[in-house]
Amino acid sequence: MSTFQVNGKAVTAGENKSLLRFLRDDLHLTGTKDGCSEGACGTCTVLVDGVKTKACVVSLSKLEGKKVLTVEGISKTINGEKILDKVTFIAGHEDKIAFVGGNELAKTTLFQILMGEMEPDEGHYKWGVTTSQAYFPKDSTQEFDNDYTIVDWLTGYSPVKDVTYVRGFLGRMLFAGEDGVKKVKVLSGGEKVRCLLSKMMISGANCLIFDEPTNHLDMESITALNNGLIKFPGVALFACHDHQFVQTTANRIMEILPGGSLVDKITTYDEYLASDEMARKRTVYTKQQEEDENKPMKT
């Protein structure tokens, strides 16, 4: 085991893990000896087994202050139906928030508002000054409607315009070297998901928003994403139909009720359902609706 101290915080790495790998994989810090791109660098003191050294790193997870996101009175009506009604909450720097409830449009709309893709009818929101956001949309059709190769596509979002650097992120998502020349418009659903996850990683964002990220993923990939999000040191807001994913990841549950109001509980998903009979009934009803929608039509 190696004991590191980064910016005054003691941390422990696994056996035989190098400082560089630990900073990159465990603390989500990246950089180079000579500095980093676009002035995003901060120099921190690092103690490796008690030996002081200097490391130039970019903090991908540093969140200063307790208020990461403030949402006040957001309302939205679509096609005559109010789907968000005075939604108000404050997200803290340790929150992993699962948005639940049967109204899929309400969750997607809230995420789009928070990402600046849609304007609310009422209310406002404010991200903390040290935050940066990355978004996994439910519908990514437009993202891949172009003639770019995977490498070219991801390079467009990378702060470092270097092919080797970009291929490293693709490799973490199990894209082999020859996969990089594939056109993004011909990728399978699962491959597109992996591209979007690569985009989120390479952005270095410390606040992640996921709208149904497990769609098109096999069980092994869902487990890997689940474990990665559990270890992620930043803030996450997400919607997901996978009960185990929500239960093991979220430490706060927000349910958007019919009519658009919000229930906000600092608890796990199982504890939330156990403590609220109506929430259990709504969950059972939603599951039954989904099963009915997925049944093959009789001919």
Kindly list the domain boundaries of the chain, sorted by start residue. 2-59, 69-132+205-294, 146-191
Instruction: Catalogue the long-range contacts made by 155-158 (C-beta closer than 8 Å, 24 or more residues apart).
Output: 157/199, 157/202, 157/203, 158/202
- Which residues make Cβ contacts (< 8 Å) with residue 217, sequence separation at least 6? 190, 193, 225
Whole-number pLDDT of residue 173:
85
Model pTM greater than 0.95?
no
> For residue range 110-155, what is the model confidence (pLDDT) as tens digits?
999 999 999 999 999 999 988 999 999 999 999 999 999 999 999 9
In the numeric block, the tokens 């958007």 are attached to 256
d(C-alpha 187, C-alpha 204), whole Å? 24
> For residue range 232-253, what is the model confidence (pLDDT) as tens digits?
999 999 999 999 999 999 999 9
| pLDDT, greater one: 108 or 17 | 108
Whole-number pLDDT of residue 288:
52
**CATH homologous superfamily, domain 69-132+205-294:** P-loop containing nucleotide triphosphate hydrolases (3.40.50.300)
Residue 222 burial by CB count (10 A; 0-12/13-18/19+): exposed, middle or buried? Answer: middle
Which of 46-60, 179-193, 280-294 is predicted with the least confidence, judged by mean pLDDT? 46-60
65 falls in which pLDDT band (50, 70, 90)? Answer: low
CB atoms within 10 A of CB 105: 15
| pLDDT, greater one: 161 or 299 | 161
- Planar angle of CA 65, 70, 71, nearest 5 degrees: 170
In the numeric block, the tokens 């040290």 are attached to 130
Whole-number pLDDT of residue 152:
95
| pLDDT, greater one: 138 or 39 | 138
- Planar angle of CA 103, 104, 110, nearest 5 degrees: 95
The pLDDT of residue 17 is above 50: no
Which of 2-6, 38-42, 135-139, 274-278 is predicted with the least confidence, judged by mean pLDDT? 38-42
For the record, the structure tokens of 272 come out as 């939330």
State residue 274 phi and psi, 5-degree precision: -65, -30
